[in-house]
């Protein structure tokens, strides 16, 4: 049976508690969503403390990112969520976080993408079954104009159907999954890999 709206809202609330607790969603940053149907998503209201979300702190939007609940302001980054639901019908949850490691690594890395290779934990990503693979994570320059940013992300998604997440430079991470648990697993995998990558780079410098 499909989860109800209340259950999906609860998944978002619990994700917020977990991600805030890990330090990956500080200071009201981040936004989370789940798919409600083929044409609607359930998203966090803009500006909320992500460790203290309640049932009123989510709202339904259409796939163009328009609020379906007058009086509630959707996340500033709503279009980056709905774009992913439109890209792949099997995506059921999208998470955006602002960890220190995602922020630092995306600023250190001056190229357009970061490649993870030969890490066993790559297998935590959907569709990856061996460490003998390369997981390419594009890095888009930050932009306060989210429609313009989404327009830069779109061709990458179309050209890379296996993409499991992307970074926005100096800003944070987007990743997704069929269910909230899949998106959370991928956030954890990314954070592990970001930390490894930063440690390897620091040791190489020493
Ligand atoms: C204080 S973080 C700045 C905005 C941002 O990047 C973010 O993730 C939260 O925006 P929202 O509108 O979803 O609260
Ligand atoms: Zn953000």
In this predicted model, what pLDDT tens digit does every residue of 110-168 receive, in sequence order?
Answer: 999 999 999 999 999 999 999 999 999 999 999 999 999 999 999 999 999 999 999 99
Residue 173, number of CB atoms within 10 A of its CB:
26
166 CA distance to ligand 1 middle (Å): 16
CA-CA-CA-CA dihedral for 63, 66, 67, 71, to nearest 10: 180
Q: Rounded to whole angstroms, how far apart are CA atoms 130 and 121?
A: 9
- Predicted confidence (pLDDT) per residue in 164-192, tens digit: 999 999 999 999 999 999 999 999 999 99
State what percent of residues in the chain have pLDDT above 70.
100
Mean pLDDT of the chain: 98
Residue identifier of the C-alpha nearest atom 8 of ligand 1 = 30
| Structure tokens belonging to residue 36 | 């409600």
Q: Rounded to whole angstroms, how far apart are CA atoms 75 and 43?
A: 7
Give residue 206's pLDDT.
81
Give residue 51's pLDDT.
98
Who lines ligand 1 at CB under 6 A?
27-31, 44, 46-47, 75-77, 96
* Strand 165-168 relative to strand 58-62, pairing: unpaired
Mention every residue, 6+ apart, whose C-beta is less than 8 A from residue 5.
36, 42, 60
142 CA distance to ligand 2 middle (Å): 10
First to last CA, the chain: 54
pTM over 0.95: yes
Residue identifier of the C-alpha nearest atom 3 of ligand 1 = 29
Ligand 1 pocket test: pick from 16, 25, 30 the residue with the most ligand atoms within 8 Å of its Cβ. Answer: 30
Give residue 151's pLDDT.
98
CA-CA-CA-CA dihedral for 47, 52, 54, 60, to nearest 10: 30
106 CA distance to ligand 1 middle (Å): 17
| Structure tokens belonging to residue 69 | 């609940």
Q: Rounded to whole angstroms, how far apart are CA atoms 61 and 87?
A: 16
Is 131 among the annotated ligand-binding positions? no
31 CA distance to ligand 2 middle (Å): 7
Burial of 6 per CB tally in 10 Å (0-12, 13-18, 19+): exposed
Left (φ > 0), alpha (ψ -120 to 50) or beta: where does 172 sit? left
With cut-offs at 50, 70 and 90, classify the pLDDT of residue 205.
confident
């Amino acid at each position: 049976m499909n989860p109800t709206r209340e259950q999906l809202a609860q998944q978002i609330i619990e994700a917020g508690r977990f991600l805030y607790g890990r330090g990956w969603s500080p200071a009201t940053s981040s936004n989370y969503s789940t798919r409600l149907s083929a044409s609607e998503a359930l998203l966090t209201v803009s500006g909320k403390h992500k460790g203290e979300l309640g049932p009123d702190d989510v709202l339904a939007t259409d796939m163009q990112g328009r609020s379906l609940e007058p009086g509630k302001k959707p996340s500033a980054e709503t279009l980056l969520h709905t774009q992913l639901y439109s890209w792949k019908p099997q995506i059921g949850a999208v998470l955006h976080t602002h960890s220190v490691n995602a922020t630092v690594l995306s600023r250190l890395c001056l190229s357009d993408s970061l490649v993870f290779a030969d890490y066993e934990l790559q297998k935590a990503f959907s569709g990856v079954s061996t460490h003998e693979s390369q997981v390419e994570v594009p890095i888009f320059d930050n932009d306060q104009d989210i429609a313009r940013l989404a327009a830069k992300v779109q061709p990458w998604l179309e050209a890379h159907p296996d993409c499991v997440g992307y970074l926005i430079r100096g800003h944070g991470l987007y990743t997704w999954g069929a269910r909230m648990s899949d998106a959370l697993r991928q956030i954890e995998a990314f954070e592990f890999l970001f930390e490894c990558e930063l440690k390897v780079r620091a040791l190489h410098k020493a």
